[in-house]
Structure 1
Amino acid sequence: MDLGKDPFDASALVQTPVSDPHIKAAAKGKINLGEIKNLIQLTPGTELGGVVNIDLNVNGNLSSIEKNQFDKFYAAGNVTVNNLVYNAAELPEKVQIKQARMTLSPANVTLSEFDCALGKSDLRAHGTLDNVLPFVMKGQTLKGALSLQSNYFDLNPWMAGESSELKAVPLPENVEFTMNSLFREVSYGKLKIQNINGVLVLKDRTLNLIDLNMNMLGGSVLANGSYSTPENALPRSFFAMKVAGLSFPQTFESFVTVQKFAPIAQSLQGTFSADFELMSDLDSTLTPVMKTLTSLGSLRIADAAIQDFKPLTKMAEALKLDRLKQLALVDLKPSYKIRDGRFFLEPLGFNAGNMAFVVSGSNGIDQSVDYSIKLRVPAEDMNSEANAVVSNLLNRKIDLLQNDYVDLVGNIGGSVTEPQVKFSAADVIKGAAAQVTSLLSQKAEEQKAAAADTVSAALAKQKEELEKMKQAAADSAKKEAERLKEEAKKKLRGLFKP
């Protein structure tokens, strides 16, 4: 038959489809899409062009492929695409495939070239698919490997509109796929992410992220983790992260988990580094189900400033100490855990100027707060109003000397937006040094050391599974390299046959 001005031949025959399918099929011809659009009805304004050349031939029993007896199954040919252009009203951007080439062999289908543009985005790929016919005919496991590269990729046009909201999609059970990626720059919402590279492994309904590196939010991120879609259950995610130099304001703006569990980040200026692990169920839009979220981590804050944080403002008003409204923070190392919808801060001691603090407690996704605070203030910072507050707590008049300090013990309750601050005790320390270590009680130290609980145990189990997957991926990559090396040797020997 003719497609436009070009001949196109195709045939297919399947015998004994149940016991052992024997497949004999062929297709050969040229498809000029610029002419094809005149033969079919397209939406007004649709742009279609380019040339597809097809030359494929298969002949043999499916069992030969299943037994890796590739010499008994004939499969050969290729498909090439040149300058394909497709643009339609239902697409957010024009699709252009400059060059693409797929080659068929008994063992696999090879994508040796793929150069594509999606609007301003570019994408290049190459890879292989193994066990294709057994997958199509009998639902056996499809295996493959793909490498993706891009200089710039903008996800936003493809995410616009209600219908394109991120949705949880069940991952296939019978697909094993490894993908290596290198994306120089990606735009996603307000996020600008650079130098994304790493490995994705799909197996047993689980997508594993292995050593995924990227630059974002002013710093760097190294992520390992998994996304799984078990049958008859919510999707589940696990991540082990190492971040360095991330901006507090950008991080707060970008992640709903930070907004829910660490609202203080909105009032912080500066950067932080952290090591943390996080596990959560996900809803139908891939948003974490907050009550199932568990996490354990530690941060390192070299230099930051906090201001306009309502609990601090309330403390300043209660103690008549305006200095508390804005603090410079240096060399902080907070540790935390999240469980049952609450963020728990382990006892944290630090100095801010010549004042010393110890803070511990929790806040919830309902914005409730429950924190204990110990504060040591030098006499030189105490004005007459502050002295009156302390005198009232002690039920006696105080007479502070220059080298004296005042110790205060209090609680912050209520909510983040409507905090309630109450100080229940005070003491005057004569000639003490404002060292935070002297404020830490033995009980607080014991609490800080007791981080190994059910949260860390659950996360440790996920981390162990991830390490197994990383090792399996490394072994698979090594095996694939050896296979390619052996194939190259065979081809080289074939060149010198008499």
Structure 2
Amino acid sequence: GKVPSNARGARAAGGRRTGAGDFDFSNEVQYGGTVRAALEEVSVQESVRTFSSVEKLLSAAGYMRGNVSLDVDATTNLATDFSPELKSLQASGTLRTSVLSLEGVPAFEKLGAMLGNDYISKPALKKVKIPFRIEDGNVIFSPFEFSVNGVKGTMGGKVGLDQTVDYDIAMSVPRGALGKGAEVLGQLESNLPKGVSLGAEIPIGVRVSGPAKAPKVELTVAKDFANQLRGYAEQKVQEIKSQVESKVQEAKVEAQKQIDASLAQAEAEAAKIRAQAKEQTERLLEEAQAKADALVAEAATKGALAGFAAKKAADKLMEEARSRANGILSEADRKAEAVVREAKSKSQL
């Protein structure tokens, strides 16, 4: 069955502890337990010395100096000596501290060396609140905000029972807080697109992974700055696209103007060809009519037979003149249509 452990207060690791829970002996093969506890201003160093499980759960605990407060709900299997089996531990809670110093943490020492900043090598976290949960052999802490001597950022990830770490840090570092790291950032800045600057606050992303005592520390561009660069790139792409579309539209308008002008010129030339042909045929018919009238007038004084013959000759003269005139007009239409057709064909190329 279950044996309750009533809530009580006691001194613990330099602070105060209150809690309650129960032991579950219903399973003879595997005992279990639950606990709901609150720790106030407990010394991390005393906790490490007193409870071996603390450093097993949190590899960086041995590097910490300061007091913490903790609220936690947990369930776990129990060993035969009633100690918790850490691999089975499931918990959730919140850790709070007014000041927590970290000295000698390999990841932060590497990061501080990269950026040339001793405050980052040995950070003192002030007034932090860290939500966490423990599951599947990992302590998983939700992203929390911190500030170290003017360096602001967020941090989140996990620490494993196998003494591995996997977490991300996003920081905003004042340019003046950088030592030799400023040289690296200067090189980075020289490769940025025109119009983009890192500014006075340098956005830095940090990826920490691998063994806790020898982690891999990678510097990247912080996500917000990466988004800025992506936004800048997208803006430039859109600007170029708009410029190209504008140029294409201008070219289309100009080409249409040239086409319209070419067609108008062809139509004008065609009209001129037809007008010249009309003028030519009118002169031709006028001349033929004058000759026909002269033949008839001359024959009128020579009798009826002569008048009849003259009339026939005049009609034939006019018929031939009209035939020639029609031929001239048809040829003019053919030439005019050819001019317009050629202009339209060129406009479609």
* TM-score, shorter chain, exceeding 0.5: yes
Which residue of the partner structure matches residue 289 of structure 1?
85
Cα distance in 2 between the residues matched to 1:320 and 1:208: 54
Q: 191, 195, 199: which one pairs with 1:396?
A: 191
Unmatched 5+ stretches in structure 1: 1-204, 430-498
Q: SS of 1:333's equivalent?
A: strand
CA shift, 1:404, in A, is 0.7
Q: 182, 187, 202: which one pairs with 1:387?
A: 182
- What does the per-residue CA deviation read over 1:47-70, in whole Å, with 9 as the maximum and x for residues that have no partner? xxxxxxxxxxxxxxxxxxxxxxxx
Which residue of the partner structure matches residue 113 of structure 2?
317
Which residue of the partner structure matches residue 348 of structure 1?
144
- Letter matched to residue 390 of structure 1: L
Cα distance in 2 between the residues matched to 1:401 and 1:374: 18
- What does the per-residue CA deviation read over 1:246-266, in whole Å, with 9 as the maximum and x for residues that have no partner? 001011222233211212221
Q: Which structure exhibits the higher relative contact order, with contacts defined as CA atoms closer than 8 Å and separated by 6 or more residues?
A: 2
CA shift, 1:393, in A, is 4.8
C-alpha contact 1:379 1:402 (8 A) present in aligned 2: no
- Does residue 1:230 correspond to 2:26, yes or no? yes
CA shift, 1:231, in A, is 3.2
C-alpha contact 2:207 2:218 (8 A) present in aligned 1: yes
Cα distance in 2 between the residues matched to 1:281 and 1:428: 43
**Given the superposition, is the C-alpha separation of residues 387 and 317 from structure 1 closer, same or farther in structure 2, using an over 3 Å criterion?**
same
- Does residue 1:250 correspond to 2:46, yes or no? yes
Regions of 4+ moved over 3 Å:
391-395, 400-403, 426-429
**Given the superposition, is the C-alpha separation of residues 284 and 427 from structure 1 closer, same or farther in structure 2, using an over 3 Å criterion?**
closer
- Does residue 1:329 correspond to 2:130, yes or no? no
Map of 1:117-128 to 2, 5 A cutoff? none
CA shift, 1:369, in A, is 0.7
* Farther off after superposition, 291-300 or 321-330: 321-330
**Given the superposition, is the C-alpha separation of residues 427 and 228 from structure 1 closer, same or farther in structure 2, using an over 3 Å criterion?**
closer
Structure holding more helix per residue: 2
C-alpha contact 2:17 2:40 (8 A) present in aligned 1: yes
- Letter matched to residue 53 of structure 2: T
Cα distance in 1 between the residues matched to 2:212 and 2:155: 16
Cα distance in 2 between the residues matched to 1:372 and 1:401: 24
Cα distance in 2 between the residues matched to 1:340 and 1:427: 29
Q: 91, 95, 98: which one pairs with 1:302?
A: 98
Cα distance in 2 between the residues matched to 1:428 and 1:222: 42
- Letter matched to residue 362 of structure 1: K
- Letter matched to residue 170 of structure 2: K
C-alpha contact 2:76 2:90 (8 A) present in aligned 1: yes
Q: 354, 360, 363: which one pairs with 2:159?
A: 363
- Give percent identity, aligned residues only: 20
C-alpha contact 2:25 2:31 (8 A) present in aligned 1: yes
- Letter matched to residue 413 of structure 1: S
Q: SS of 2:83's equivalent?
A: coil
Cα distance in 2 between the residues matched to 1:275 and 1:402: 40
- Letter matched to residue 389 of structure 1: V
CA shift, 1:401, in A, is 10
C-alpha contact 1:394 1:426 (8 A) present in aligned 2: no
- Letter matched to residue 324 of structure 1: I
TM-score, structure 2 length as denominator? 0.59
Q: SS of 1:317's equivalent?
A: helix
Cα distance in 2 between the residues matched to 1:376 and 1:214: 41
- Letter matched to residue 20 of structure 2: N
Structure label with greater radius of gyration: 2
Unmatched 5+ stretches in structure 2: 226-349
Cα distance in 2 between the residues matched to 1:395 and 1:413: 29
TM-score, structure 1 length as denominator? 0.42
Cα distance in 2 between the residues matched to 1:338 and 1:419: 21
Cα distance in 2 between the residues matched to 1:288 and 1:230: 17
Map of 1:23-38 to 2, 5 A cutoff? none
- Letter matched to residue 419 of structure 1: P
**Given the superposition, is the C-alpha separation of residues 417 and 207 from structure 1 closer, same or farther in structure 2, using an over 3 Å criterion?**
same
Structure holding more strand per residue: 1
- Letter matched to residue 387 of structure 1: A
Q: SS of 1:324's equivalent?
A: helix
Q: SS of 1:350's equivalent?
A: strand
Map of 1:150-161 to 2, 5 A cutoff? none
Cα distance in 1 between the residues matched to 2:173 and 2:147: 10
CA shift, 1:287, in A, is 2.7
Work out the number of aligned pairs and report it.
Answer: 224
Cα distance in 2 between the residues matched to 1:388 and 1:297: 42
CA shift, 1:275, in A, is 0.9
Cα distance in 1 between the residues matched to 2:128 and 2:224: 26
Q: SS of 1:334's equivalent?
A: strand
- Does residue 1:409 correspond to 2:205, yes or no? yes
**Given the superposition, is the C-alpha separation of residues 427 and 276 from structure 1 closer, same or farther in structure 2, using an over 3 Å criterion?**
closer
Q: SS of 1:318's equivalent?
A: helix
CA shift, 1:405, in A, is 0.7
- What does the per-residue CA deviation read over 1:280-314, in whole Å, with 9 as the maximum and x for residues that have no partner? 10122323222210110101101222211111111
